[in-house]
Amino acid sequence: MPARYAELDSDEERLPEGILRIGYDADTQIYTFRDADGSLWEGPPGSRYGHLTKVADAPKPPSNLENIDVEAGDADAPPPYFENEAEQPFLDHATARNNLSQRWTDDAMKRHWRAELMPLLNFFFILALFLMGVFWFLGWMAKSEHMAHCDHGSHGHQIQRGETCWSIATMHGIDVEKLKAANAGLSCEVLRPGSAICVPAMPKA
């Protein structure tokens, strides 16, 4: 039974007169046809035969035929068409797809690079915060240890900017000599803000 209708499935039987099938795009499953006048037509996707849609007009002939150089025209003529090219897709379509695919690949590589680098950046950020916390804690411990070395009956005092031995002694109700006696080697001329000194307790009245 299939052999009986095989002849009806040929291009000569199914296509209009003058129409020739010249190409096929495997991605879009669209057949391309050429009319006798050179215009290009396309069939519906997934169908070898069906309603044809015109996609390109036939090339226009030159307006002044007398000034045409026949030999130069033959040199510029396109290469001959072979029947085996009918099974190949158009090169311009393939080139466009390749270019688009390359752009997609480049964008994907950029996103992939950012995605791989983000955990590393987060790690360094957390590490920096941790080190800052460690240094702050060590500085605080150093100040606390220095204050803890004060003798019994005295307490630590952290020097603020603008303070002097006299202002510190007056603030705690003692004289400068007692303040110096509680801190061996204390130079009242050079008090470093942030450092700690020992302050004796205020004498009882």
CA distances to 108, 131, 169, 195 from 138, rounded to whole Å, are 46, 11, 29, 14
The pTM of this model reads 0.31
Given a cut of 70, is residue 100 above it in pLDDT?
no
Neighbours of 180 (CB within 10 A): 16
Given a cut of 70, is residue 64 above it in pLDDT?
no
Calculate Rg over the CA atoms of the chain: 47
Give 30's contacts (C-beta < 8 A, 6+ positions apart).
24, 42, 43, 44, 45
Tokens representing 44?
């519906």
Given a cut of 70, is residue 76 above it in pLDDT?
no
pLDDT at 69: 57
DSSP 27: T
Nearest one of 56, 33, 34, 35 to 43, comparing CA atoms: 33
The answer to whether the CB of 29 falls within 8 A of the CB of 45 is yes
- Longest CA pairwise span in the chain (Å): 132
3-state class of 89 per DSSP?
Answer: coil
pLDDT at 1: 47
Mean pLDDT across the chain: 76
What are the tens digits of pLDDT across the range 146-189? Answer: 555 788 888 889 999 999 999 999 999 999 999 998 898 889 99
